[in-house]
A and B are shown apart, each in its own frame.
Chain A
Amino acid sequence: MNRRGFLRVATGGAVGVTLLQAEACHSPLRQQKVANDVTPRVEIPTTCDMCVNKCSMIAVVEKGIVKKLNPNPENPKSKGMLCARGNAGIQQLYDPARIKHPMIRNGERGEGKWKVVSWDEALDFAAQKLSAIKEKYGPQGTLWSSSESFQEVFFRNLGQAFGSPNSVRHPTLCLASVNLAYSVTFGTVPSFDVQNARYIIMSGANRLESFITPDTMDLVDATTERKARLIYLDPRFTKTAAKADEWYPIKPGTDLAFILAMLNLIIGENRYNKEFVSTYCTGFEQLAEHVKQYTADWAAEETQIPAKDIQRIAREFADAAPRAIYYAGRRSSWSRDDFSMRRGQAILNAIVGSWDRQGGMVPNAKVELGELMFLPWDDPVAPRVDELDKNFPLAAKGDGVYLKLRENVLAGQPYPVKGWMIYKQDPMSAIPEQEKTLQMLRQMDFVGVIDIQMSDTAWYADVILPESTYLERLDPVEMLGGIRPVVLYRQPVVKPLHDTKPAFEIVQGLAKRLNLFQYFDYTMEQWIAEQVKTLPMDLPLEYLKKHGVYSPAEYPKYGTTLKPDHRFVTKSGKIELFSERLQGAGYDPLPVYHPPSEVPTGKFRLVLGRVAFHTHANTTNYPWLSSFAPENTLWIHPKAADSLGIGAADRVEVASGVGSVRLKAQVTPKIRPDCVFMQHGYGKRSPWLRLANPGGSDAQLLETAWDKVSGGAALHETFVKVRKV
């Protein structure tokens, strides 16, 4: 065959092959294949971990690959739903930017140079460092910070067994005020029976958008199917505002004025539940006297809500009782007086008698779980570094007060803290005034991080101990108390993809090397076996493996505490409208209104909030979720934007007293003219989290401020200047 002929055949063949190839590789996208598992299709129930709501779901696994996460209808709280984040759990598992091996820093802190090491080497390193710090500074020289997880208990136990009193957790940035306020009033933090309520008032608590939760579903159900009325107060026109019957763009920080005016009217017009108050409450006379000064006209001035509306709402609220709730909210980290506001709420809810009634507040029921017995360790000797007893005597000890703690650590007072173990937490993104957090990281002798992704905090670690994701782990059984308590099971649906371990095994590894293994000398299976011993079915473990969740059928139960001889967990044994405990600690026994600081001219109050498709800062690198907001924008009212010459989609610089960021402006009428808003979790510095890099970090802007009583961070007390760039 001559050259021409050969070319003809070759090209013909090439064309043919290209055509065939083209047909063949146009098959739907498939995730990375794992060679060893050939089971065709199996559905495994487990519990979601994309946020704290712990919804039940079923993982569909085909040939060892998780294809889809479906809701599990058997959970009466999550009611057969799975939100955007739950569905995106697959991206957490298969995230190419996950930390795949233990790593030790191989350059300067923050340089991003890492050496991949074996687990032995990583754990040896961490244990050595911790021991060295214990030698030099005592065990209190270490800080153990963690966020909620089914396995958190092991990490916390390790910290305590190590001898350190310094633990700090998420509530200090979130729930501290509301938890404390309701505890002080009722002796416990109740749940709200949203589904059966008929009149619901919400301050902020953007329940229909922020963090899709079981309450979200109940609220939709209540307002659309059961004709409940929703009154919503928020400086922003959020999705909840869009669905509410009435929305008031309340002046930020004045919610307590609204509540006090409601109390004033309800008591003044005798619309409160006299029988309930006399049987179960103390301090009513002092309350009645105290609220006389807080008239609706006065509140109208403060809140910028018309007086007649405040009065009408108060009447409607009282009339709807006991199916009336002033929803407590979850994130109560707005202002320095947040605690007082939540106290006001609790008192308001109390006097209309909705306690332990259908459609009102219900103390959490629980299911008792067994406990594995092991050797107790000695209690830590040293006092906490944030000096809670002195500064925040009522704050939850285990949770700590992050901002005061950081202040003290930076000052080296009352003693130096030089080691920091962090589990499932990203302080760089989560705490205000990022500059200071960075300083704190830098001044540590040792920073050890247990996490699944290279967060901005992990970026500054000395050693990273990668945890397996929730889809790869067997976790302790978790009991979630509430109006309908549930027992949740989490089992692995695939084998770990990378060289990662569950936190429990990491803790065991460290414990071995720190001579603390005797406190962790058991297996996860043994731990779980003890837990499920108290469950009523014959083979509880089999049941949980099959169903993923157990909820006793006898709930909801109302009125279990409505017996005249019931003792509330308060000093007086009653619901404390007037709180002696607060008085004893030197705080106002009844909520006293302090007006919020005025917004300086030419500045805006920065307000924060959450969205339905992200969990705080930790999901902003998942494409399925970030596609809804590739970067965060600054919400600014058109009037304000005009006066600053800012047009739609212009870039702006936002500057506070401690930092500045640049991001895109979003000119929208959905926010008060004196406020600006930005989403959380963007503007990250870690190059591994490419999708989270755009935009600006609110942590860099927020100034350090905390609630006077609970110590909870006050995240709406920052005023910023905005200018076009």
Chain B
Amino acid sequence: MKTIEWQYLIVSYLFLGGLSAGLYFVSALTELFRKDDDPAQEHIARIGALLAPWPVMLGCTLLVFDLGHWYRAYKLFLHFRWESPMSIGSWLLMLFIGISLLYAYGWVPRGGREHFYEKLPRRLRFLRMFNVDVAPWRRPLAIAGLPVSVGVAIYTGVLLGAVQSRPFWNTNLVAQLFLFSALSAGCAFLILVLAMRSREFEMYQFRSLYLLDVSFLTLEFFIVVPYFIHGELSVEAVRESLKLVLGGPFTVVFWVFFMGLGLVLPWAIEVREVAPLFLTHVQLLPRMRAATPTLAGASVSVVSELSAPTSAKKLHFSRGWAVAAAVLVLVGGVLVRYIFVFAGQMSAIR
């Protein structure tokens, strides 16, 4: 019988897992490519690292309680079944949680850490063995954790994409969509937190986040487009399933709320914010072209060039618009997962 088994708990988990992965990814990337003389970049990396473990841990808790037998969750770790995306995902999550907690620990301010261990009650003093300075391990952990975070973000899409019986999902584009949605959610969440909390910095100093978010949103957009093109040119089951968002019950929430308000609008806000950068730094382009033939190299040099403190003018990025764009991206992230989880379970091969 047809029932929608995976509902809001799963949607929440998929979002939270992706969010953590995105936070980690952005933090790690920033840490690896920042210059020591840019305190804003270090701030991004620190906040991202400290935030990264918690959404996914909350998500996992929700996940465990969605199980029919929550107290049997440990059984997931008695087996490794490589054909089951859920089995792989469970192990990946454990690994990610471990690495991200360790990585976050490396960013806890030294003073705070020492104070905490000093103030421990006598019974818990044995915990002092954990009073280790992990900060020197930040970069190795960032490198090690990057593929794991990508894995966590992608596997949530593989979970759906691997299911042949749900034509709405059965495309490898779903994994990519969820990946870039997760990475952009990470950026957006950081923008949101920094815009509301970090008064000691100007939003302009966090422009790397905007640039990353724009890149991710652009990639996301160009995944949704082929998803539809390929889908419409595909087998009948897929075409039937796409009707759920082309006239069916999820049409409005997909096109107006996800694509419009959750993707295009924040993209436009952020592009508008960063546009002056390109216009004033247009002379940077020939230098970049010469120095860096590869795409990876180009993106790295964009980030480093644009974050160079020696850039010509300090522009003002509005906190208000930052919050607006960030919230829209986050809501969009939740919505895309809601749409896919529900519509997917409603689709079937006739």
Interface set of A (CB-CB < 8 Å, partner B): 19, 22-23, 26
B71 is an interface residue with CB less than 8 A from chain A: yes
Give chain B nearest CB distance to A7 CB in angstroms. Answer: 15
Residues of B within 8 A of A23 (CB): 71
CA of A23 to CA of B71 in the docked complex: distance in angstroms?
9
CA of A23 to CA of B69 in the docked complex: distance in angstroms?
9
Residues of A within 8 A of B71 (CB): 19, 22-23
Give chain A nearest CB distance to B313 CB in angstroms. Answer: 61
Residues of B within 8 A of A26 (CB): 69
Contact with A along B54-75 (1 / 0, CB 8 A): 0000000000000001010000
- Mostly, the A contact residues are helix
Interface set of B (CB-CB < 8 Å, partner A): 69, 71
Query: What are 4 A-B pairs with beta-carbon distances under 8 A?
Result: A19-B71, A22-B71, A23-B71, A26-B69
CA of A19 to CA of B69 in the docked complex: distance in angstroms?
10
CA of A658 to CA of B71 in the docked complex: distance in angstroms?
61
Give chain B nearest CB distance to A21 CB in angstroms. Answer: 11
> 4 shortest A-B CB distances, which residue pairs?
A19-B71, A22-B71, A26-B69, A23-B71
Closest to A18 in B: B71
Give chain A nearest CB distance to B72 CB in angstroms. Answer: 9
Give chain B nearest CB distance to A668 CB in angstroms. Answer: 22
Give chain B nearest CB distance to A296 CB in angstroms. Answer: 45
CA of A68 to CA of B294 in the docked complex: distance in angstroms?
72
Closest to B68 in A: A26
Give chain B nearest CB distance to A384 CB in angstroms. Answer: 55
Give chain B nearest CB distance to A465 CB in angstroms. Answer: 44
CA of A229 to CA of B69 in the docked complex: distance in angstroms?
55
Residues of A within 8 A of B69 (CB): 26
CA of A26 to CA of B69 in the docked complex: distance in angstroms?
10
Give chain A nearest CB distance to B123 CB in angstroms. Answer: 10
Residues of B within 8 A of A19 (CB): 71
CA of A22 to CA of B69 in the docked complex: distance in angstroms?
9
Closest to A23 in B: B71
Closest to A19 in B: B71
CA of A400 to CA of B71 in the docked complex: distance in angstroms?
67
Residues of B within 8 A of A22 (CB): 71
Give chain B nearest CB distance to A333 CB in angstroms. Answer: 39
CA of A26 to CA of B71 in the docked complex: distance in angstroms?
13
CA of A22 to CA of B68 in the docked complex: distance in angstroms?
12
CA of A292 to CA of B124 in the docked complex: distance in angstroms?
110
CA of A19 to CA of B71 in the docked complex: distance in angstroms?
7
Closest to A15 in B: B71
Closest to A20 in B: B71
Give chain B nearest CB distance to A20 CB in angstroms. Answer: 10
Closest to B70 in A: A22
Closest to A26 in B: B69
Give chain A nearest CB distance to B122 CB in angstroms. Answer: 14
CA of A2 to CA of B59 in the docked complex: distance in angstroms?
36
Closest to B71 in A: A19
CA of A26 to CA of B70 in the docked complex: distance in angstroms?
13
Give chain B nearest CB distance to A232 CB in angstroms. Answer: 31
Give chain A nearest CB distance to B64 CB in angstroms. Answer: 14
Give chain A nearest CB distance to B68 CB in angstroms. Answer: 10
Give chain A nearest CB distance to B73 CB in angstroms. Answer: 12
Give chain B nearest CB distance to A378 CB in angstroms. Answer: 64
Give chain B nearest CB distance to A15 CB in angstroms. Answer: 9
CA of A26 to CA of B68 in the docked complex: distance in angstroms?
11
CA of A22 to CA of B70 in the docked complex: distance in angstroms?
11
Closest to A22 in B: B71
CA of A120 to CA of B71 in the docked complex: distance in angstroms?
56
Closest to B72 in A: A23
